[in-house]
Amino acid sequence: MKIIAVVRNGPLPMGPPDIPGLTKYSVHYPLGDTSEKSESIANLSGVAMAWLDDHEKVNPASWFPSATVIGYSVKESVKIDYQRTWPDTVPSPGVRRISFLNAAAGLTRAEMATHWNEVHWPIARKHHQTLWRYVQNVVINPLTKDAPDVDAIAELHFRNESDLNERFYDSEKGQTIVANDVNNFLDRESGWRILAQETWVRS
């Protein structure tokens, strides 16, 4: 089981919390100011991702008692993966964009997930040629009180900021194709996203 926790208004330590069944753990510290963005990430400390082999109900808020935490259990699908050549606790090269997404009006979460995987993923693979790592996370359940509605969380990792900012699309035509398909399955106005630097603490 994978847990994604957004930590605000308090510390996100590098070291992993004492979580029964923890097998992998990474932290993602924001790059740039988040104070003027969505209320969900205002005063953002970072995003923690934890993989557990214990399937009992967990509460990520208890992991960071001095912070405000929203957390989700997700079903992870790694579409593109990098080959790591750096050890744990060393920041990963490049940058990661983490996007919190909602299904388009009229679609269930399951319908959104099917379109994302079966229709959008081949389009993204063709027109986002600088993706270094790409992960689709479909939300299973919110795990914290008052967690905003989220249907999915996307992780797009790039070798450098230029690949994201200047070479995100293969062409203007590709950009239009991607945007048109996104409108078919996502509510673009309701989500939020951050740019972060990833560090594997335990892999």
In this predicted structure, what is the pLDDT of residue 56? Answer: 67
Helix (H) or strand (E) holding 77: strand 68-80
Mean pLDDT of 154-171: 97
Quote the pTM value: 0.95
- Phi, psi for residue 82 in degrees, rounded to 5: -80, 165
Residue 190 tokens read as 């309701």
pLDDT score of 106 more than 80: yes
In the block, residue with structure tokens 């790592």: 133
- Note the pLDDT tens digit of each residue in 125-137: 999 999 999 999 9
| Residue 4 burial (C-beta neighbours within 10 Å; 0-12, 13-18, 19+) | buried
Q: What percent of the chain has pLDDT over 90?
A: 88
The closest of 18, 8, 130, 15 to 67, measured between CA atoms, is 8
C-alpha distances (whole Å) from 125 to each of 50, 82, 109, 184 are 26, 14, 22, 17
In this predicted structure, what is the pLDDT of residue 32? Answer: 77
